[in-house]
A and B are shown apart, each in its own frame.
Chain A
Amino acid sequence: EPEVTQTPSHQVTQMGQEVILRCVPISNHLYFYWYRQILGQKVEFLVSFYNNEISEKSEIFDDQFSVERPDGSNFTLKIRSTKLEDSAMYFCASSEVSDTEAFFGQGTRLTVV
Chain B
Amino acid sequence: KNQVEQSPQSLIILEGKNCTLQCNYTVSPFSNLRWYKQDTGRGPVSLTIMTFSENTKSNGRYTATLDADTKQSSLHITASQLSDSASYICVVSPSNDYKLSFGAGTTVTVRA
Which A positions have Cβ atoms within 8 angstroms of B? 4, 31, 33, 35, 41-45, 48, 50, 55-56, 58, 89, 91, 93, 98-107, 109
CA distance A106 to B43 in the complex (A): 4
B44 interface neighbour in A43, A50, A109, Cβ under 8 Å: A43
B89 to chain A, nearest CB (A): 7
Question: Which B residue's beta carbon lies closest to that of A58?
Answer: B99
Please name all residues of chain A whose beta carbon is closer than 8 Å to the beta carbon of B95 when the two chains form the complex: 99
A-B contact count (CB 8 A): 55
Q: Report if B23 contacts A (CB, 8 A).
A: no
Q: Are A91 and B44 touching (Cβ within 8 A)?
A: yes
With a cutoff of 8 Å between Cβ atoms, the chain A residues found around residue B101 in the complex are 45
- Contacting residues, chain A, for B46 (C-beta < 8 A): 101-103
B contact residues, total (Cβ < 8 Å): 23
Please list the residues of chain B having a beta carbon within 8 angstroms of any beta carbon in chain A. 31-32, 34, 36, 41-46, 49, 89, 93, 95, 97-105
Whole-angstrom distance between the alpha carbons of A91 and B36 in the complex?
A: 14
Instruction: Quote the shortest CB–CB distance from A11 to chain B (angstroms).
Output: 14
Bound together, the chains give a CA A106 to CA B39 distance in angstroms of 10
Q: How far is the CA of A33 from the CA of B97 in the complex (A)?
A: 13
Closest residue on chain A to residue B104 by CB atoms: A42
The answer to whether A99 touches B93, judged by C-beta atoms less than 8 angstroms apart, is yes
> Measured between alpha carbons, how far is A16 from B41 in the docked complex, in Å?
25
Q: Interface centre among B32, B95, B102, B105, by most A CB within 10 Å?
A: B102
- Minimum CB–CB distance from B34 to chain A (whole Å) comes to 7
**Inter-chain contact A104/B99, CB cutoff 8 Å:** no
Chain B residues within an 8 Å CB radius of A41: 104
Shortest Cβ distance from residue B9 to the other chain A in the assembled complex, whole angstroms:
11
Complex contact A48–B98 (CB within 8 A)? yes
Select from chain A the residue with minimum beta-carbon distance to B39. A106
Residues of B within 8 Å of A107, CB to CB, are 41-43
Chain B residue contacts of A98, Cβ below 8 A: 98
